[in-house]
C-alpha cells in the first residue's frame, strides 16, 4: 500500500470554518509535503516540512509534523469555497516518494 | 493489484544525451500525469493526458521535453540534449477520469 494515508477521506464544511486533514506514514522520512488538486488539474505544491521541523505556516495553511507518531496535519483556516479540492500528503524517504490517496474537501458557500 | 510502475528507477546520463522515461499506469485509468521534483523543491507539473483529448503540455519547461501516450496506456517522457538542471526525480501518476491520483515510485535522473 502507499506510504501516506490521509484522514478523513472526505470532509465537508461551511465557508469560514477551519478544515483539518491528517496524514500518517510508515517509515523514516526526509520531508513531508502537502499538495492540492482541483478537479481535472495537476497537483499544486502547498508546503514542505522537513523532518527536523515541527510546525510551518504559509498564509492560511498550518502544517504540523510529529515524527514520533509518524503523522502530519494540515489546517486550513477561514476556509473559502475556492479551497474545495483534494489534498494529498507525500513523503520522501530519500529513495522513493509516496503519496496518499487524498482527502476530498468541500467548502460550502 | 498492480500500481503505477516507472522505469528505469535510476538513470545516470551525460550532458547532451537523450533519455526516455517510461510510465505504466494502472489499467483502465484514463488520466496520466508527469511531474518532476528537483532536490528540495515541490512537485512541478509537466504534462497531463486525459483519454483521447489533446494533452495539456503547459508545464513542459522547454522544447527539449516531450511526452507520448500510446494507445491510451503506456507513456514515455523524452528529454533531448539533457542538461544538468534536468537532474530531478520524474514522477508519473494515473487516475480514473480526473479523480484521485496514484503515483509511481519515480525515476531519479542524474545528468553529469
C-alpha cell at B107: 525515476
Phi and psi, residue B85, nearest 5°: -70, -5
**In what helix (H) or strand (E) does residue B94 lie, and over which residues does it extend?**
strand B88-95
Burial class (CB in 10 A: 0-12, 13-18, 19+), A108: exposed
pLDDT value of residue B97: 66
pLDDT value of residue B38: 80
Mean pLDDT in residue range B13-33: 94
pLDDT value of residue A69: 94
C-alpha cell at B34: 508527469
Dihedral of alpha carbons B14, B35, A95, B70, sign: negative
- A100 is in which domain, residue-wise? 5-108
Distances (CA, A) of A84 to A43, A47, A57, A106: 14, 17, 20, 5
Mean pLDDT in residue range B48-60: 87
pLDDT value of residue A41: 64
Q: What is the CATH classification number for the domain harbouring A69?
A: 2.60.40.10
pLDDT value of residue A97: 65
Contacts of A48 in chain B (CB under 8 A): 42
Distances (CA, A) of A38 to A81, A105, A106, B37: 12, 10, 11, 20
Report mean pLDDT in 10-residue bins for chain A, 109 residues: 71 96 89 82 81 95 96 96 92 70 90
pLDDT at B1 over 60: no
Total structural domains in chain A?
1
pLDDT value of residue A20: 96
pLDDT value of residue B8: 96
pLDDT at B33 over 60: yes
Contacts of A40 in chain B (CB under 8 A): 50, 98
Look at A33 and B24; give whichever has higher pLDDT.
B24
Query: Candidates 3.40.50.360, 2.40.30.170, 2.20.25.650, 2.60.40.10; correct CATH number of B5-111?
Result: 2.60.40.10
> Mind listing the pLDDT tens digit for each residue in B80-111?
999 999 999 899 988 886 556 788 888 999 99
pLDDT value of residue A94: 66
Q: Do B42 and A99 touch (CB under 8 A)?
A: no
Which of B42, B100, B105 lies nearest to residue A101, judging by beta carbons?
A: B100
- Cα B40 to Cα B63: distance, rounded to the nearest angstrom: 25
Q: How far is CA A78 from the centre of its chain?
A: 16
Which of B42, B102, B106 lies nearest to residue A45, judging by beta carbons?
A: B42
Which of B37, B89, B101 lies nearest to residue A37, judging by beta carbons?
A: B101
pLDDT value of residue A44: 79
Rounded to the nearest integer, the mean pLDDT of chain B is 89
Q: Cell numbers 517522457 correspond to what residue? A: B77
DSSP string, B30-84: -EEEEEEE-TT---EEEEEEETTSPPB-TT--STTEEEEEGGGS-EEEEE-S--G
Amino acid at each position: 500500500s502507499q506510504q501516506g494515508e490521509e484522514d478523513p477521506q472526505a470532509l465537508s464544511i461551511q465557508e469560514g470554518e477551519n478544515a483539518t486533514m491528517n496524514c500518517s506514514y510508515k517509515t523514516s522520512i526526509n520531508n513531508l509535503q502537502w499538495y492540492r488538486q482541483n478537479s481535472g488539474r495537476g497537483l499544486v505544491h502547498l508546503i514542505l516540512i522537513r523532518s527536523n521541523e515541527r510546525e510551518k505556516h504559509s498564509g492560511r495553511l498550518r502544517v504540523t509534523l510529529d515524527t514520533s507518531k509518524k503523522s502530519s496535519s494540515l489546517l486550513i483556516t477561514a476556509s473559502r469555497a475556492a479551497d474545495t479540492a483534494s489534498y494529498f500528503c507525500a513523503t520522501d524517504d530519500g529513495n522513493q516518494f509516496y503519496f496518499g490517496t487524498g482527502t476530498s474537501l468541500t467548502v460550502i458557500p | 493489484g498492480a500500481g503505477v510502475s516507472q522505469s528505469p528507477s535510476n538513470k545516470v546520463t551525460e550532458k547532451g544525451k537523450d533519455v526516455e522515461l517510461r510510465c505504466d499506469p494502472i489499467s483502465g485509468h484514463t488520466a496520466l500525469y508527469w511531474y518532476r521534483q528537483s532536490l528540495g523543491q515541490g512537485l512541478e507539473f509537466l504534462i497531463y493526458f486525459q483519454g483521447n483529448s489533446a494533452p495539456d503540455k503547459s508545464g513542459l519547461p522547454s522544447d527539449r521535453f516531450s511526452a507520448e501516450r500510446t494507445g491510451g496506456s503506456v507513456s514515455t517522457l523524452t528529454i533531448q540534449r539533457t542538461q544538468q538542471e534536468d537532474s530531478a526525480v520524474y514522477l508519473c501518476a494515473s487516475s480514473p477520469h480526473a479523480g484521485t491520483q496514484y503515483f509511481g515510485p519515480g525515476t531519479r535522473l542524474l545528468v553529469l
